[in-house]
Structure 1
Amino acid sequence: MTTSRFSIAELLVEHDRAVAYTDELWADLTQDEVHWRPSPNSSAIGWHLGHQAAVSHYMVRNLTAAEPPIDDALDRLMDSATPEPDRGDLPDLARLRGYRNTAAERLHLRIGNIASGDVGAPQQLEFIAVGLLLAVTNHEYQHSQWIGEVRSRDLGHPLPSRPTSDLLTEIDGYLVVGA
């Protein structure tokens, strides 16, 4: 009974599109490229990849269902509260990919429970789920913009085509859902 112009199902599709686009931006990069930092006060692509997943995980566990950490060390490292100079001890690509996949799986599980009404206060949580999905998806696109800029400008790799969707618009050069 949401009054949002977006359904949970539509937003889950858009979230998956955003994650898939981010994955296209780094799938062909080497570990050295994913770990490379433009400066000590800048974050590597790998940190942004983990941060996207961490924010998704934090929002799911704090807004919809108390969940255990995915990976205590990565949860701390990928938190934006970690000062940029301390963001250099990045995991290997398999661990990073696993972290991202687990965050996406947990989001789908919890939002799926909400969509099916298998939660307490299902109507109230539907509103939370829509807002959460908008925030997490737009955050994914926000960081994919930076990843793409570093991929292209600094590492010399071509960019894949940007995703298209009836839900997407561009604001200040960033893809966003809504508005």
Structure 2
Amino acid sequence: MYEVTALLREYDRARAYTDDLWTDLTPDEITWRPHENSSAIGWHLGHQAHVAHFMVRNLTAAEPSPDPELDGLMDSANPEKFRGALPTVERLGAFRDTVAERVHARMNDIAGSRVGAPNQLTVVARHLLVALINHEYQHDQWIAEVREGNLGHALPGDPDTDHVSRLDGYLVLNPLA
């Protein structure tokens, strides 16, 4: 099974793949919705970070949201047609970066045994990171479909790692490698 530090590298690789899917798009392309009952690429970007924050917060460390105003907007429990206006691309990027820094900080504290119950939290951290990586890739699939199919942009190649494969068309991390 992966060590926490190896999973953090895979998390970074998944986030880099996401960046390859959106950083060259215009703000209008990032906020465009194919129809009322779908989400913009920007929503998926915020949602990926939102889920990462809440999983880390609820499973390993109670800490405040880095951007509480985004919490309701990025919650998938809200139907697409009721999701409000997206923040700026810069704010979405900053939110994603801040959450990733917090994921790293908490996971590194766990890997370095700087937490109570370090062995138990290591088990939690491993599974949490696999879930975060696969969640990142899950939303990357939708981003890729809109990027290519609706916006006409070429897709980047799959991440350069032997630890990721496709399952039902989605990139997934093999948690037992």
TM-score normalized with structure 1 length: 0.96
Deviation string 1:112-153 (CA, Å, 9 cap, x unpaired) is 000000000000000000000000000000101110110000
Residue 46 (1) aligns with residue 42 (2): yes
The amino acid across from 1:142 in the alignment is: Q
Counterpart residue number, 1:29: 25
Structure 1 runs (4+) greater than 4 angstroms displaced: none
Bigger mean CA deviation after superposition, 39-48 or 83-92: 83-92
The alignment-based identity, stated in percent, is 59
Q: Structure 2: how far apart are the matches of 1:175 and 1:58?
A: 22
Residue 144 (structure 2) pairs with residue 152 (structure 1): no
Residue 103 (structure 2) aligns with: 107
2:166 and 2:154 mapped to 1: Cα distance?
20
Is the contact between residue 11 and residue 133 of structure 1 (CA under 8 Å) also seen in structure 2? yes
Matched residue, 2:173: 177
Aligned counterpart for 2:157 among listed residues 142, 157, 161:
161
Q: What RMSD, in angstroms, separates the aligned Cα atoms of the two structures?
A: 0.9
| Deviation of 1:87 (Å) | 2.0
Q: Which whole-Å CA distance do the structure 1 matches of 2:162 and 2:147 have between them? A: 26
Match of 1:80 in 2: 76
Map Cα deviations across residues 38-92 of structure 1 (whole Å, 9 max, x no partner).
1101000000000000000000100000001111111110011111112241001
Paired residues of 1:71 and 1:99 also in contact (CA < 8 A): yes
